[in-house]
Amino acid sequence: MAIKLGTMLVQEGLISLQQLDEALKYQTIFGGRLGTNLIEMGVAEEEDIARVLSEKLRVPFTGSEELLNIPAELVRLIPRKIAQKYKVVPLRQEKKRLYLAMVDPSDLRAVDEIGFISGYAIHPLVAPEVSLFLALEKHYGIDRDVRYVPVIKQILKKNPPAKKTGSSGSSTASISPARTNDPSWRENISRYAIDELSQALADVRERDQIAPLVLKYIGRTFDKSALFLIRDGMAHGWQARINGKKVPDFDHFHISLNDPSILKTVVETGSFYLGTPPDTTENNRLLEELQNLPPETTLLIPWVKQGRVICILYVTGQPSMLTGEFFDLQKLTQKATLALDILILRNKIMMT
């Protein structure tokens, strides 16, 4: 998201290309989000950053004043552990609709999980990272990182918290009105995320940068995913993620393509597989490695180059979600294959 946000800020005339370059270096060294680093450098205002991102995602934005003045009844709608895990703060309630300020409003899986846990229809709001961390500390007692102290002092000086808050559980906090009820926000967020991934894949400089980019993107929607490299009659584990965490030593895992398995089927047919893996020795080894017992519905999509399967994407989830995301996942495999082509061409150029 950093590169796209930075480009948008430059296009809006809010920062220069030189300032963006400096902020990206600053971010690489000190971490945090690009917007936070720009605020620390004193070259951008948090409200401007939130507004620009809001326009791109078509998601309403909110600022520090609203975040610091939330009724206690509203805060209690989201438990502390959920607020801490997902870095979210409830800002407004309208019947069964709950507006939630988020550090990353493009995290659709978090939106869905919070909605399932809370029982509310969640509508994400763009919020500056620093203000959100300050709100988490005030309302939930979640300590902020010491690196944010200087920036937080600046924000508090500009927007001191009110001494009193309303008593109603339905907050009247001010949020950007333009697209508060825009039904297309989810579609726009998904499009924005795939644009970000496309840019990142175009910029890779080595093969092993591709797998984490692909699996992180898939992890926004699915809990379990993996990539297998196909060579020498074997399917070799490349990288796998379960619940957002990398599976250790997965690159040491392999399956023979001489014995029956869903991987063997995909390699032989060159086509995708969707279903519950049959009970075979190699399938059971695969399911155990990826904590998929009892077996869930599994989708496998091959990466094909010059008529040969070179890699297989493995994803598990609800059948309706897998079929609903199929074309996006297929597009993702095409982009990843193109990224490999770019690397090959780059290496050829360097050798000639």
The DSSP line for 16-45 is: -HHHHHHHHHHHHHH-S-HHHHHHHHTSS-
Judge whether residue 161 has pLDDT over 90.
Answer: no
Q: What is the pLDDT of residue 184?
A: 58
User: 193-351: CATH homologous superfamily?
Assistant: GAF domain (3.30.450.40)
The Cα 84–Cα 52 span in angstroms is 26
Q: Which residue has the higher pLDDT, 192 or 8?
A: 8
- Mean pLDDT lowest among 120-124, 190-194, 197-201: 190-194
Judge whether residue 15 has pLDDT over 80.
Answer: yes
The overall average pLDDT reported for the chain is 82
Judge whether residue 176 has pLDDT over 80.
Answer: no
Q: Do domains 2-158 and 193-351 have the same CATH topology?
A: no
Judge whether residue 225 has pLDDT over 50.
Answer: yes
pLDDT band at 126 (very low <50, low <70, confident <90, very high): confident
Judge whether residue 71 has pLDDT over 60.
Answer: yes
Q: Over pLDDT 70: what percentage of the chain?
A: 84
Q: In what order do the strands lie in the sheet with 88-94?
A: 88-94, 97-102, 121-126
Among candidates 262, 263, 225, 268, which has minimal Cα distance to 243?
225
Judge whether residue 20 has pLDDT over 90.
Answer: no
Q: What is the pLDDT of residue 151?
A: 54
Alpha carbon distances (Å) from 185 to 27, 56, 136:
28, 10, 25
Domain ranges of the chain: 2-158, 193-351
Q: Over pLDDT 90: what percentage of the chain?
A: 36
Angle at 29 between CA 26 and CA 35, to 5 degrees: 40
Residues pairing with 273 in the sheet:
300
Judge whether residue 277 has pLDDT over 90.
Answer: yes
- Mean pLDDT lowest among 117-121, 147-151, 182-186, 202-206: 147-151
Tokens representing residue 238 in the block: 């490349």
Q: Which residue has the higher pLDDT, 299 or 199?
A: 299
The residue type at 67: L
* Mean pLDDT calculated for residue range 166-186: 48
Judge whether residue 311 has pLDDT over 90.
Answer: yes
The Cα 132–Cα 62 span in angstroms is 10
Judge whether residue 181 has pLDDT over 60.
Answer: no
Judge whether residue 162 has pLDDT over 70.
Answer: no
Phi, psi torsion values for 268, nearest 5 degrees: -70, -35
Instruction: Tabulate helix, strand, coil % of the chain (nearest 5).
Output: 50, 20, 30
Judge whether residue 168 has pLDDT over 50.
Answer: no
Write the pLDDT tens digit of every residue in 41-67.
888 887 788 788 787 777 888 877 888
Judge whether residue 177 has pLDDT over 50.
Answer: no
Residues ≥6 apart with Cβ < 8 Å to 48: 9, 12, 14
Q: What is the pLDDT of residue 192?
A: 58
Residues ≥6 apart with Cβ < 8 Å to 80: 140, 141, 142
Residues pairing with 303 in the sheet:
311
Quick check: 99 and 60 in contact, CB under 8 A?
A: yes
Write the pLDDT tens digit of every residue in 95-119.
888 999 987 787 877 888 888 888 8
* Mean pLDDT calculated for residue range 180-189: 57
Cα torsion angle, 31, 34, 38, 40, sign = negative
* Mean pLDDT calculated for residue range 202-207: 86
Q: Which residue has the higher pLDDT, 161 or 61?
A: 61
How many Å is the maximal CA-CA distance in the chain?
Answer: 72
Q: What is the pTM of this model?
A: 0.57
Q: What is the pLDDT of residue 76?
A: 92
The Cα 308–Cα 296 span in angstroms is 27
Domain 2-158 top-level CATH class: alpha beta
